[in-house]
Structure 1
Amino acid sequence: MRIWGKLFGGAIGFMFGKFIGLVIGLWLGHQVDKYAAASKQLTQRGSSRQAIFFNTTFSVMGHVAKASGQVTATDIKIASLLMDQMRITGQARIDAQQAFRDGKASNFDLRGSLKAFRLIAMGRSDLLQMFMEIQIQTALADGKLEAKEHALLLTIAQELGFGRMQLDALLKRWQAEYQYHQQGGQQSLSIEQAYQVLGIEANVDDQQIKRSYRKLMNEHHPDKLVAKGLPPEMMELAKRKTQDIQAAYDRIKSERGMR
């Protein structure tokens, strides 16, 4: 129990105002103690949120990888590449690998894990979306989406509060990004892929393009996501996402002659 604020405030108050000063000093000290306790609790909660995000991400990845019947070499490779992108080494990598194995187990509680994650995410839609995008990336590791994988992604989306249309929009965007990276980067980004990455149709006006671009950049801003609970190890994924969004926007601007 924190009492130092009360003791200090009470002592200072008594020195300057006797009994009334003591009362005022105790009250002010109590507010300081409350603030300090709340700050510590928020810090602990943030660390807990990052730990749950980290563990749930890799355990659900393992579950998604097994959706088609068995975990393939490609599934394991994409998990390893993801860890490499995040620069996860040492104990953190061991923990991620164990979580991935836990997710492959037949008794893995998918819905329970997702409910716990959604609860600690506290309704942060951008954080939930980042998680969803990582699972989509896992399902599309081989460039195709099987029926069982789609059904599982839909279950994950619904548990996190996303509808079927939102999932389909995310899938369409990620498929465009996958093709973009498979073809070698920005030089091969087609105008059709650019519109898909931004999640818009080719017939929208310039203002809508700018709004979509700003919205996506805000949702995937690495520093903002980490502050909301994204593990620091996953900042590299957010950075790569913003680079793709920027490349798509630049491609469309060039095509349209936008300023």
Structure 2
Amino acid sequence: MFKIIGLLLGYYFLGIFGAFAGYIVGSILDRYRAYGAGAINPLTNAHRQTVFIETVFILMGKLAKADGHVSQDEINHVEDFMRKLGMSSEHRQLAIALFKQGMAPDFDIKPKLNEFMAVCGHTNSLKQMLLIYLIVMALSDGRLDAAEEGLLKDFAFHLGYDQSAFKQLLEMVLGQSHFAGGQATSATALDDAYKALGVSKESSDQEVKRAYRKLMSQYHPDKLMGQGVPEDMISMATAQTQEVQAAYDLIKKSRNM
């Protein structure tokens, strides 16, 4: 919208060169409105991405050791995570070092969480995607034990989530995980579908549709990259959109929407 306005005003006042300049300025404003400040300032965005990915691997390490030992499933999950990111050998070594740093019993995670909040905390999507990555990590061995859930609650608290908001996000991710690959994988698929969208069977069709659209917007690749999620990590968000879509399709079918 702004780029069209900028083009017209620029042409009106300054001719063809003014139109070009107005279009560029308008495009920047459009990206700011859609994706946040990181879409405008690539240096700021690059810094956000660095802090984001460092926080992910450090907290993954802390979470993996929450129950006293690191399972093979958790190791496999982190290795698969790095493989999906297409990391170079050098970056893999750095990620492993961050993971091990988080695993250390005496490592204090609060400074890293404080840094994350200072750099990324004003963007809700970054906080939510960080928690989603960590919840998926905790579920990688097929269960969520009390120690892991307690640590996730601590992470969520530092990110500004109260107990109710964390519980809702946890249930949503659990529900979405039952639609891995875009297919229902549980006997309670319809119940899981409602949880995946963060609604209930009592919700109206309009409320269900609104929740679906909100989630699809939150997981949109361009929006996440504009706000500071590294491009290589977008594939996991794409997987979440497939799960949300499958859940929504099941609800629509059950309601004849």
Smaller-chain TM-score range? 0.7 to 0.9
How many residue pairs get matched?
Answer: 218
Structure exhibiting the larger radius of gyration computed from Cα positions? 1
1:150 counterpart residue number: 149
Q: Secondary structure at the match of 1:140?
A: helix
Instruction: Check conservation: 1:220, 1:238, Cα contact below 8 A.
Output: yes
2:32 counterpart residue number: none
Residue type of the partner of 1:64? L
2:253 counterpart residue number: 254
Aligned partners of 1:112, 1:85: CA distance in 2, in Å? 28
Normalised by the length of structure 1, the TM-score is 0.79
**Runs of 4+ in structure 1 displaced over 4 angstroms?**
none
2:57 counterpart residue number: 58
Higher relative contact order (CA 8 A, sep 6+): 2
Aligned partners of 1:112, 1:48: CA distance in 2, in Å? 17
2:89 counterpart residue number: 90
Q: Deviations over 1:189-238 (max 9, x none)?
A: 62222111111101211000011001111111111111111011101011
Instruction: Check conservation: 1:197, 1:245, Cα contact below 8 A.
Output: yes
Instruction: Check conservation: 2:121, 2:159, Cα contact below 8 A.
Output: no
Instruction: Check conservation: 1:75, 1:141, Cα contact below 8 A.
Output: yes
1:49-198 matched pairs, under 5 angstroms: 49-181=48-180, 185-186=182-183, 188=185, 190-198=189-197
Instruction: Check conservation: 2:125, 2:227, Cα contact below 8 A.
Output: no
CA-CA distance at 1:187 after TM superposition: 5.1
1:212 counterpart residue number: 211
Identical aligned residues as a percent: 36
1:239 counterpart residue number: 238
Residue type of the partner of 1:163? D
Residue type of the partner of 1:153? L
Residue type of the partner of 1:249? Y
Cα 1:243–1:69, aligned 2, differ >3 Å: closer, same or farther?
same
Gaps spanning 5+ residues in structure 2: where? Answer: 1-36
CA-CA distance at 1:43 after TM superposition: 2.2
